[in-house]
Amino acid sequence: MPVGAEPVIDGVRETDAGAVDPKWAWGLSGSLRDDPQRRVMANAVRKHGIQAVALDRDAVRAQQHTFSLELDAGAVTNQRASGRCWLFAGLNTLRIRAKERLGLKDFEFSQAFLMFWDKFERANHFLENILETLGEPTDGRLVSFLLAGPLGDGGQWDMFVSLVEKYGLVPKYAMPESYHSGSSAGMNRVLVAKLREDAARLRLAYRGAPDALPAARREKEGMLAEVHRMLVHFLGQPPAHFDLEYRDRDNAFRRVADLTPTAFYEAYVGVDLGDYVSLIHAPTADKPLHRTYTVRFLGNVRGGRPVRYLNAEIGTLKRAALGQLEAGEPVWFGCDVGKMSDRESGVMAAGLFDYAGALGVPLQLDKAARLDYGESRMTHAMVLTGAHLVDGRPARWKVQNSWGKDPGQDGYYVMSDDWFDEYLYQVVVHRRHLSPQLQAALAEPPTVLDPWDPMGALAGG
């Protein structure tokens, strides 16, 4: 065979197998020209966009912003142009307790305070992961995955718990928002560049060296000191002490001097976060029900609380969430917020957009297949603050978002019960809302999932 010649099988070159026949491709346009209804739909999509055309207005109208069970969760907060939803959601679950103990109509914690310590701790976590994988090739999947996202904004409930238990909390005025807390992309780019440089230094200096960890960790301390300096520039200095000063709902002035963040948390929140557990609904073959799971390398605080999930039926998640709401506590949850969700109306409902009808093609993956094939994952954390019950069963759920007051109704969303089935993946509830069987399952050692498993996706943003 001449150099460069291609094998021919039954008159077809091997490189042509599976190629698109241009005559067939041009002929596809005829089916659209011959269908007047399809031409009208195509014109509407080109003019107004698929979202506007496919939106089911009846489905929007069916999801009223009224609920038979509601908590007084306060005004909606705003994470702005950052991926701190998990921090905002975590703080929003605690603010009800804080405003009651402080005697305030409303209250807001400092999100920038926890963001500072999350970035600092996550830098350490990343560098420790680099040291743990010194024997892996730089271009292998594992190290490439670690280097792809050294320090994003996303996170998980257990990561929130680790920060609160280690550093405490402060009111928003004690460490207010900065430019980069609300617009984190520029800050993250610089921090990531620094951490990749540090990873290269560690791998070049210590890869293959016996007993390298003590020396590598001494060098890592200097790297973390540089990260701390950068964070002070970006976010400000977190207060080690502050004076609590405010007027309560009766307009009485209150002052408590020289509080530490941990003392403030213990006095004015006082929740044992160790009693709260993450239930997930991941109906994929690799995650049998009633077992616990963790994700390798997922976390922020070394020595803190490991990320841990208990997989259960969707009905179990609903019963536990409803029980917690009825007990007067909001519920942190993780979901795929971009699916079947309308920002303007604040409605999330399965089938909210009829893409199949608008485009004339089927879209039929179920929840398990969407996870397996990368079509869905946890992308956002919010808080359940109410539910509407019909004959004792939830028909819709009230959702406190953290995108400010413009979306939805003063920033609150309404979630249909079927959206809960399809696109909600995680709820955080007190363990008392679990059956004895599930409480026993919590004691079992977790199955370790790959770092790129979709159950770790919320922490990657």
**CATH number of the domain that residue 193 is part of:** 3.90.70.10
Coil, helix or strand at residue 247:
strand
Q: Read off the pLDDT of each residue in 290-317 and give the average, rounded to a whole number.
A: 98
Q: CA–CA separation, 364 vs 355, rounded Å?
A: 11
In this predicted model, what pLDDT tens digit does every residue of 392-426 receive, in sequence order? Answer: 999 999 999 999 999 999 999 999 999 999 999 99
Q: Read off the pLDDT of each residue in 39-63 and give the average, rounded to a whole number.
A: 96
418, burial (CB in 10 Å: exposed 0-12, middle 13-18, buried 19+) = middle
Q: Which residue has the higher pLDDT, 83 or 27?
A: 83
Q: Read off the pLDDT of each residue in 132-144 and give the average, rounded to a whole number.
A: 96
Catalytic machinery residues: 85, 380, 401
Backbone angles phi, psi at 233, to 5 degrees: -65, -40
Average pLDDT, the chain: 95
Band the pLDDT of 110: cuts 50, 70, 90.
Answer: very high
In this predicted model, what pLDDT tens digit does every residue of 213-225 receive, in sequence order? Answer: 999 999 999 999 9
Checking 172-177 for CB contacts under 8 A at 24+ apart, the result is 172/108, 172/109, 172/110, 172/111, 173/110, 174/110, 174/113, 174/239, 174/242, 175/110, 175/112, 175/113, 175/116, 175/236, 175/238, 175/239, 176/110, 176/112, 176/236, 177/80, 177/111, 177/112
Looking at the structure of the chain, the number of domains it has is 1
Residue 6: the pLDDT is 56
Band the pLDDT of 180: cuts 50, 70, 90.
Answer: very high
Residue 14 lies in a domain: no
Q: Read off the pLDDT of each residue in 150-165 and give the average, rounded to a whole number.
A: 97
Q: CA–CA separation, 438 vs 444, rounded Å?
A: 10
Residue 309 lies in a domain: yes
Residue 258 lies in a domain: yes
Residue 53 lies in a domain: no
Pick from 15-24, 140-149, 258-267, 404-413: least confident: 15-24
Residue 461: the pLDDT is 66
The 8-class DSSP code of residue 172 comes to: G
- Amino acid identity, position 373: Y
Residue 343: the pLDDT is 97
Residue 215 lies in a domain: yes
Residue 100: the pLDDT is 96
26 has pLDDT over 90? no
Residue 193 lies in a domain: yes
Parent domain of 411: 69-460
Band the pLDDT of 13: cuts 50, 70, 90.
Answer: low
Band the pLDDT of 114: cuts 50, 70, 90.
Answer: very high
Residue 6 lies in a domain: no
Residue 22 lies in a domain: no
The 8-class DSSP code of residue 137 comes to: -
In this predicted model, what pLDDT tens digit does every residue of 338-390 receive, in sequence order? Answer: 999 999 999 999 999 999 999 999 999 999 999 999 999 999 999 999 999 99
